[in-house]
Structure 1
Amino acid sequence: MTKIQYYVASTIDGFIADEHDDLGWLLQFGMEDFQEHYDRFFADVGALVLGATTYEWVLREGGGWPYGALPTWVLTHRDLPVPDGADIRFAAGEVDAIADAAVEAAAGRNVWVIGGGPVAAQFLEAGRLDELLIGYMPVALGRGRPLLPVGTVTPPMRLTGVTRIGDAVEHVYRIE
């Protein structure tokens, strides 16, 4: 069964980027320890959803579009460039229709809500997020872009897994 998952790295004080949308705090750890874990997660991904800020960061910093031809929804009201070979669909409005389209396109695999936090919060508040997979990195920023900036109390979550990856730890929460 397809799950809609928010898979993300966070500081221990709950930020996914600094106030300038920079990820230097994360990249300082190197990704060698995390690659195998990421590869296992990504093997089950059939579609992607992300916000415009995350999309632009990936285009700027990613050295090319790293997700191949996976169907990808970018939540935005603006016209943005599309990399060659990418299956990008720009969307705005309620997340239910976007979630339905992404689940259908995933064809039995999972939907990865990459970010940012506001996109994941919209999916959670709409009742469309099934799991949070949060890699807590051993660093604090004190301020920045919040992990999950919800506007209301969330539904209960159940901790279903904890994995140590080097000095980091991943918590997996299922939304009840």
Structure 2
Amino acid sequence: MSGAVRMLLSVTRIQYYVASTLDGFIADEHDGLEWLLQFGMEDFSDHYERFFASVGALVLGATTYEWVLREGGGWPYGELPTWVLTHRTLETPEGADIRFADGDVAAVADAATAAAGGRNVWVVGGGPVAAQFLAAGRLDDLLVTYMPVALGRGRPLLPVSEVTPVLTLTGLTRLGDAVEHVYRID
């Protein structure tokens, strides 16, 4: 289904909402987030809560899913329908609506959009998942909060195999010393 047709059928947007270092990494080379967690949530919690209120479904890669289970202190997304892209069998937290999928992300995008009930789909991460959605023409927005730190190496924000389309900047929000850039993908 093309982006134009999806817009006519639904107001649901598929959004990659993520924090990044200034040099374009979303995790260190061991999938750690200590570089991000050092900033706390004080400057970000209200902004995050407004974003999260617009979310009706989630998509995660297996690495992000396992990190959330290991480090998150419980499943933080309640009963929101969640797709985990993986080829493996993974545990499911009690009370969570987890659906494991592999293969074509267009089918996952369609299912998540339908389940979102008119709200947005959050591609939580990681970068390879967002890159798959982008390559399939199924990513509508990129919301990146750039943190005032550089890593030099790690997991890239958007590991693409070819040049992306030009993105349209639609918003900027200062969050303490960080800045969120919102891009529409045409």
Q: Taking structure 2 as the reference length, what is the TM-score of the superposition?
A: 0.94
In the alignment, what sits opposite 1:15? 25
In the alignment, what sits opposite 2:15? 5
The offset of 1:7, in angstroms, is 0.1
Verify: 1:143 aligned to 2:118, yes or no: no
Matches within 5 A, 1:1-176: 1-176=11-186
Counterpart-to-counterpart distance in 1, 2:166 and 2:85: 26
**Cα deviation per residue 1:80-110 (whole Å; 9 max; x = unaligned)?**
0000000000000010000000000001000
Counterpart-to-counterpart distance in 2, 1:33 and 1:162: 15
AA paired with 1:71? P
The CA RMSD over aligned residues, in Å, is 0.4
Counterpart-to-counterpart distance in 1, 2:39 and 2:103: 36
Provide the aligned length of Structure 1 versus Structure 2. Answer: 176
The offset of 1:4, in angstroms, is 0.1
The offset of 1:153, in angstroms, is 1.1
Counterpart-to-counterpart distance in 2, 1:169 and 1:71: 29
> Which blocks of at least 5 consecutive residues in structure 1 are unaligned?
none
> Which blocks of at least 5 consecutive residues in structure 2 are unaligned?
1-10
**Cα deviation per residue 1:131-169 (whole Å; 9 max; x = unaligned)?**
000000000000000000001111121000000000000
Q: Taking structure 1 as the reference length, what is the TM-score of the superposition?
A: 1.00
AA paired with 1:72? T
Percent identity between matched residues is 81
